[in-house]
Amino acid sequence: MARDRFLHILRFLHFADNSKRPDEDEEYDRLWKVRTVFDKLNEAYAKFCNPSEHLAVDEVIVKFKGMVIFRQYIPKKRKCFGITIYKVCDESGYMYDRVYLGRNSHSATDDMTATHATVRHLTSRVEGLGHKIFVDNFFLSPRLFDDLDRCKINSCGTVRPNRKDMPNDFGPKQLKLKRGDVRVRTRGGLTTLVWKDRREVYMLTNMDPLPVEGNFCDDSNRPMKPHIMERYNRHMSYVDNSGRMVNSYSMS
C-alpha cells in the first residue's frame, strides 16, 4: 500500500458511531471511540497467554502531541508530551495495560488511593494464582501489600518512607545510617528494609527470607547490595523489555 493512501485511511478511520456519543456525566468514558478495540485486545491477551510467575508493574509515557485532554507534560521525561500507560509485564515483555485518563477520583476512597486502585485493576486477572508482583515506589504502600496478600499475590518493591502505615522510626533522621548499613522491621509476613548506599533505599516484601541487620561492605569498603534488591532490579526490567519491543514497531 502506498504511504499516502495509508495515511488517508488512517485519517478517517473510526471504530465508533459519532452520533452515539455518550453524555459527559460522572461516568463518561474518554476512550469511548476506541473502547471496543481495547476490550477485544485485552480479552485476547488474557485468552491466549498465561503470564509467567513473576510480573512487573510500572508506568510508561507514549509520545503523543495530539489534542486529547488526558495528554500529559512531564518535563523530566525524554518523551515529555504523551499519554501515560500503566503496564503489567511478564518476563517475555508480554503486557496487559491501562491508559491514564486524568485524575480518577472515582477509584480513590478513604482506604484506597488512585495508584492502589490502578494496581488492583491491573492484577485482577491473576488473583489467587500465586503470582509474584514487583512494583516501584510510585504505587507501593503497606496497605496495597495487605490487599494483594489477601488475593494470594506476593509482592516486592521500593517504597517511600512517608507512606501511611510505614514504621515511625524508619526515617533517615531517626536511623542515622552509615554507608552499607541495613535495618529491618517486620509485621506479620511483611518485611520493611532500608539500605544505605549514597542515599537510603526503602523496600517492602512478603516473599523473601528475613534479611540480617548490620553493616555489609566488601574488602574495598563498598556497600554490598542485599539480595532482595538484586532480585527487584532483575524483575523490574521486564517493563524495559516490553518498551524495547514496542519501539521496534514505532509507527508515528
**What would the pLDDT profile of 172-192 be if each residue is shown by its tens digit?**
677 788 888 888 888 888 888
Asked if residue 143 lies in contact with residue 63, where contact means CB atoms within 8 angstroms, the answer is: no
Residue 139 lies in a domain: yes
Average pLDDT for 116-132: 86
Residue 99 lies in a domain: yes
- Per mean pLDDT, which range of 27-31, 42-46, 102-106, 137-141 is the poorest? 102-106
Confidence of residue 25 (pLDDT cuts 50, 70, 90): confident
What pLDDT, on the 0 to 100 scale, is given for residue 95?
75
How many CB atoms lie under 10 A from the CB of residue 74? 12
For β-strands 154-158 and 95-99, DSSP reports them as unpaired
Higher pLDDT, 133 or 93: 133
pLDDT, tens only, 64-84? 888 888 888 878 777 788 888
Residue 20 lies in a domain: no
Higher pLDDT, 170 or 135: 135
Give the Cα separation of 86 and 80 in Å (integer): 16
Asked if the model's pLDDT at residue 9 lies above 90, the reply is yes
Average pLDDT for 203-208: 86
Asked if the model's pLDDT at residue 104 lies above 60, the reply is no
Give the Cα separation of 56 and 155 in Å (integer): 10
Confidence of residue 6 (pLDDT cuts 50, 70, 90): very high
Residue 181's SS3 state is: strand
Q: Is 177 exposed, middle or buried (0-12, 13-18, 19+ CB in 10 A)?
A: middle
Number of domains the chain is built from: 1
Asked if residue 76 lies in contact with residue 153, where contact means CB atoms within 8 angstroms, the answer is: no
Structural domain range at position 91: 29-242
Average pLDDT value over all residues in the chain:
83
Residue 24 lies in a domain: no
Average pLDDT for 217-224: 74
Residue 134 lies in a domain: yes
Asked if the model's pLDDT at residue 148 lies above 60, the reply is yes
Q: Which three cell numbers stand for residue 209?
A: 527470607
198 sits in the region (left: phi over 0; alpha: psi -120 to 50; else beta) called alpha
Residue 188 lies in a domain: yes
Q: Which three cell numbers stand for residue 124?
A: 485482577
What pLDDT, on the 0 to 100 scale, is given for residue 110?
60
What pLDDT, on the 0 to 100 scale, is given for residue 124?
84
Confidence of residue 134 (pLDDT cuts 50, 70, 90): very high
Confidence of residue 4 (pLDDT cuts 50, 70, 90): very high
Residue 80 lies in a domain: yes
pLDDT above 90: percentage of residues in the chain: 6
Could you give phi then psi for residue 97, rounded to 5 degrees?
A: -125, 175
Residue 250 lies in a domain: no
Q: How far is CA 104 from CA 26, 107, 181, in A?
A: 11, 6, 39
Asked if the model's pLDDT at residue 105 lies above 60, the reply is no
Asked if the model's pLDDT at residue 252 lies above 60, the reply is no
Helix axes 142-150, 114-122, angle to 10 degrees: 30
Asked if the model's pLDDT at residue 153 lies above 70, the reply is yes
What pLDDT, on the 0 to 100 scale, is given for residue 82?
87
